[in-house]
């Protein structure tokens, strides 16, 4: 695939992504984040499998970077989800 087609697909994907995400109501953001974290967990497992079969130094470097970024993405997603769930908890009533 040539570079123009690749850039075109990327730009169209950005527009579609922004359009889809902007239509999600705020009450669905937490479940959506949880589902995204699960998907990224699967991607992380795939990156580990690919990294295990890497032979050249370039493959090892790219695979390691993929695992690191995937891990950061999963952990960050769970942190954000946890913070969002904290917003929905009822605050304790202060006794007077």
Q: Which two tokens stand for residue 57?
A: 């130094």
H or E element, residue 88: helix 57-88
Please classify residue 12 by burial: count the beta carbons closer than 10 Å to its beta carbon, then call 0-12 exposed, 13-18 middle and 19+ buried. Answer: exposed
Note the pLDDT tens digit of each residue in 62-90. Answer: 889 988 988 888 888 778 777 777 777 77
Distance, in Å, from the CA atom of 33 to the CA atom of 30, rounded to the nearest integer, reads 5
**CB–CB of 33/74 below 8 Å?**
no
What predicted TM-score, i.e. pTM, was given to this entire model?
0.57
Note the pLDDT tens digit of each residue in 5-62. Answer: 888 888 898 888 888 877 877 777 667 766 777 777 788 888 888 888 888 898 889 8
Distance, in Å, from the CA atom of 61 to the CA atom of 85, rounded to the nearest integer, reads 36
Predicted local distance difference test score (pLDDT) of residue 10 = 85
Predicted local distance difference test score (pLDDT) of residue 70 = 84
């Amino acid at each position: 695939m040539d570079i123009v087609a690749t850039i075109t697909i990327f730009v169209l994907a950005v527009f579609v992504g922004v359009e889809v995400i902007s239509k999600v109501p705020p009450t669905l953001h937490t479940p959506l984040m949880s589902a995204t974290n699960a998907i990224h967990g699967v991607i992380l497992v795939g990156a580990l499998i690919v990294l295990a079969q890497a032979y050249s130094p370039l493959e090892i470097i790219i695979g390691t970077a993929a695992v690191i970024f995937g891990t950061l993405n999963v952990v960050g997603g769970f942190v954000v989800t946890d913070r969002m769930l904290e917003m929905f908890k009822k605050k304790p009533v202060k006794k007077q």
